[in-house]
Structure 1
Amino acid sequence: MDISTHLLTTGIAVTLHLPAGQEPHPTIVLCHGFCGIRKILLPAFAEAFAQAGFATVTFDYRGFGDSEGERGRLVPTMQIADILSVVEWARQQPALDADRIGLWGTSFGGCHVFAAAAQDSRIKCVVSQLAFADGEAIVTGHMSAEEKSGFIATLDKMAEKQKTTGKTMLVAITRVVSDSESKAFFEEYRVRFPEMDIKIPFLTVQETLHYKPAQYAAQVTCPTLVVIAGQDIVNPPEHGRALFDAVAAQEKQLYEEPDARHYDIYSGEHFERVSRVQADWFRAHL
């Protein structure tokens, strides 16, 4: 397998994995989750797909990892634009088949792939795993009506203050994620990968609150596979089911790992099963 790294004119750092075999290759663009970088979690999937005969592209969103841009820049519409930039770059590579590009996204990236596919009709197929359907439900679903009202009012005041002063409150990633599994994950990985030890705007929470991936899923007509983990407390499985129901494509499939938690999918037996199912999906539709 041939592996090369590139910095796009947009400032996005990408890694291209080329499998053995005749060019041009069908290609999968892998889209990371919340504050993720391409050095973690994605390589195992990229290698599995390359072994299945696909070229793969992993990348860092602008503001993260090796990409340029303001550190911690986390706005869904901008990250979706990054995905589309990477797809367009892939179409220009002679070793890749411009007409056979699919999207794979996990967690936050699993939300973004719906919007990207809705905006780019040339995307051949989509795999979304561990995503959420409605940001408001994810952010405030555990709150009482009174707590929710007060929380949203606080965010609105912070947003208004930012407009008038130009100042942004930056906080550690662990201040933004609310579940114990994600806190533990980021605590572990920021030690192992110092480039993850960054601060992000607290108003990222407001961006997530207004994000409705199911609305984009309703515009996706290419073959779509949705993967959920039955014990996921980060993005509960009912969100994946809602995304699946929303997808407009005639060819769609819902796959569940019933005993898996959110981060279990990335290694071990859960990874082995899920990656095989996803590779089969790409073989059938890419």
Structure 2
Amino acid sequence: MRVSAQREKVRFISDGTECVAWHYPGRNGACVVMGAGGAVTKEPGTDPFAGPFHEAGFSVLAFDYRRLGESGGRPRQVLRMGEQLADWRAAIRFAATLPEVDPERIAIWGFSLSGGHIFRAAAGEPRVAAAIAQMPLADGLNATPKAGRHQRPSAMLRFTGRGLLDAVGGLFGRPPLLVSLAGEPGTISMLTTPDGQDGDRALNPGNRYPDWPQVIAARSALRITLYRPSRHASRVRCPLLVVVCEQDQTAPPGPAIRAARRAPRGELVRLPGGHYAPFLDAHEQALDAELSFLRRHLLDRAEPEHRAAESAAPRTGRA
């Protein structure tokens, strides 16, 4: 795995809460703001792509949402969609202040749940010049019953009961009731799909990130099932790349494919494999497609503008 030694830890404020990010200073003036999947911290969730993006010359800002990783906020491991979208807005605004970054050439990148956020963040933030949604959870209501085929009914009932109990406890300020991000069918886990079992192997090989707690508040897992961000795809005006895997059982590709078609400047890349294939066997394919997209929409468009500015500038010196 390629992780730049040049990255530095930075902090920005979102709604009064401190968020922590890795900043990779780039060379070409463009910046990619990156968010990891649901309850995944910035290192396991972005390192495999942030490093190569930086090697290609891009600045990168890879951040932890509030309540996760090194960012502030309590209670921990609780995901609230409105808060995470506010963190996206704060991260984009902060990226625009970085000294080497052209504020007109900022892209956003998200995987899984964050990939779903990309539809809403890109639709609501005019500063975004390009967006990449990788294996996005585009429609929780579509994904949940399909994922439920890989869970035992008794375990599903226990999971729902734990989520409701946690939601009620949250109203009274009680600590979250946590569930595993992934587990075998029959366990009280958010993901029990076959490809959901690949998460640790894909994001945390050899326990490379031992400080990543692979748990989520049960109340948040229930919220995710009702999340339908792809409905905002038609409002995304910037170039939007949607990357899907044909055998994805965790975030089924159908809603994401339809979202790419509804987006005015949508592009679609289909890859073989399950939900975590871009971190495993399909990594090079995903990386090549995403770098090509970023170069076309953040770099190539800047060249004619640069040449036009040079030709319009007054010429000095002796003939």
Same fold (TM over 0.5): yes
Contact 1:31 1:113 in 2 (8 A): no
Contact 2:146 2:249 in 1 (8 A): no
The TM-score, its normalising length taken from structure 2, stands at 0.77
**In structure 2, do the counterparts of structure 1 residues 104 and 160 end up closer, same or farther at CA, with 3 Å as the change threshold?**
closer
**In structure 2, do the counterparts of structure 1 residues 272 and 157 end up closer, same or farther at CA, with 3 Å as the change threshold?**
closer
Q: CA deviation at 1:227?
A: 0.6
Identity of aligned residues (%): 24
Q: CA deviation at 1:41?
A: 4.2
CA distance in 1, matches of 2:20, 2:170: 30
CA distance in 1, matches of 2:63, 2:160: 35
The equivalent residue for 2:53 is 49
**In structure 2, do the counterparts of structure 1 residues 183 and 196 end up closer, same or farther at CA, with 3 Å as the change threshold?**
farther
Q: Is residue 227 of structure 1 aligned with residue 231 of structure 2?
A: no
Which of 225, 235, 253 does residue 267 from structure 2 map onto? 253
What amino acid is aligned across from residue 240 of structure 1 in structure 2?
A
Which of 256, 261, 279 does residue 240 from structure 1 map onto? 256
Which of 248, 265, 277 does residue 264 from structure 1 map onto? 277
Q: CA deviation at 1:128?
A: 0.8
* Alpha-carbon displacement from aligned partner over 1:217-246 (angstroms, at most 9, x marks no partner): 122111111111112121122232122133
**In structure 2, do the counterparts of structure 1 residues 255 and 160 end up closer, same or farther at CA, with 3 Å as the change threshold?**
closer
What amino acid is aligned across from residue 47 of structure 2 in structure 1?
P
Q: CA RMSD in A?
A: 2.7
Q: CA deviation at 1:64?
A: 1.5
SS in 1 for 2:51: helix
Which of 189, 204, 210 does residue 204 from structure 2 map onto? 189
Which of 70, 89, 95 does residue 90 from structure 1 map onto? 95
- Which 5+ residue runs of structure 2 have no aligned equivalent? 183-188, 299-319
SS in 1 for 2:71: coil
How many equivalent residue pairs? 276
Contact 1:213 1:243 in 2 (8 A): no
What amino acid is aligned across from residue 7 of structure 2 in structure 1?
I
Contact 2:147 2:193 in 1 (8 A): no
What amino acid is aligned across from residue 210 of structure 2 in structure 1?
P
CA distance in 1, matches of 2:209, 2:106: 30
Q: CA deviation at 1:30?
A: 1.2
- Which 5+ residue runs of structure 1 have no aligned equivalent? none
The TM-score, its normalising length taken from structure 1, stands at 0.85
Contact 2:67 2:77 in 1 (8 A): yes
Which of 267, 273, 277 does residue 285 from structure 2 map onto? 273
Contact 1:72 1:198 in 2 (8 A): no
The equivalent residue for 1:11 is 18
Alignment of 1:58-137 (within 5 A): 58-70=62-74, 71-137=76-142
* Alpha-carbon displacement from aligned partner over 1:146-186 (angstroms, at most 9, x marks no partner): x7xx8998589547733664434332333222323324524
Q: Is residue 36 of structure 1 aligned with residue 36 of structure 2?
A: no
